[in-house]
Structure 1
């Protein structure tokens, strides 16, 4: 079928919906979701024709919000200055660890957002998916922890390898659970789950990752 009749309550023909109209709406919705995942406010015109000021206005709000969120990461690092000074090798692994949490969270979030969009999962499925994600993220974290421990041994010795391995497991698990949960939280708040985008998840995971990393280092290395 390439056309669908539109009728009123009296079953009288009032118009026709063409397949081209449906495809246009689908394309518009998909574009809007991609913009939200950036996150960028939707554009009313094509990217080629939009003005510089409009692009600035559409992008600046979320960037400013994320800047202030990342201040908390800096505050976490500042809180553990003594730990960093005593074992400077810890700094080498910081970007690697926190980025891994953000990457795992982005993967989980993308899977949930897409599944919600096609109607595969509902809000009531959160607990089932949460328990499943615990197992999946644990396996991912263990695999990545073993891999990064090899670098840790050569870079800082056995104790550093243990610290970054434990941290990797926890950060990947926490990042994954945050990533899969945020779309459900946004849907519960009647917001578009696509807004639970990769930059937002990465910022949250960075804050949590810094605290986990240096807390484990402080505890295990007795600093």
Structure 2
């Protein structure tokens, strides 16, 4: 209970900071060098540390394999015929910052046939994102990337997915789980992703504290200083 109270206080202080910083990349991976082995996934990390391997898992907690593709995370598991899968990113936020104000979570979603080749026709796919703080959900949303099966020509099997995280604040020194789930219904389909990016703004480090003055306080200090100088001259 005290832990939750502390986090609420931290989040309140973060949300009231009047900082004019721009969002930047907090975490990213283009999955280069994966080659069918999820333990090969490497990350670019800024003010966060990834504490777990990026391992695809079915709903019975069985580990799943990948198609042997160098620069893509393509799971060898038919979401239509075998069920959904999920993968977790467990993040630790740098304890030397107050926290991170998130912006968005983006990636390219693709669909594959059972041979690991990109689909030439549309097959149903939904990706969901849950951000967990212990057992509590800070965020939960789904994107129907491809709706239903069809055999229309001119199909592009890769689509950009963007989750708006502007309402989510992560507290420095705490751990969070980002869970991606792939699901779908239809005649057969496999799913994967590429170019994953988490954007956000790191807020206020104790090593370089930022003082945010109350509205008008700087002007009041200036006026007081001028008044003091005028009184000194008169003396």
TM-score by length of 1: 0.22
TM-score (norm 2): 0.22
Instruction: Compare the two structures and name the one with the higher helix fraction.
Output: 1
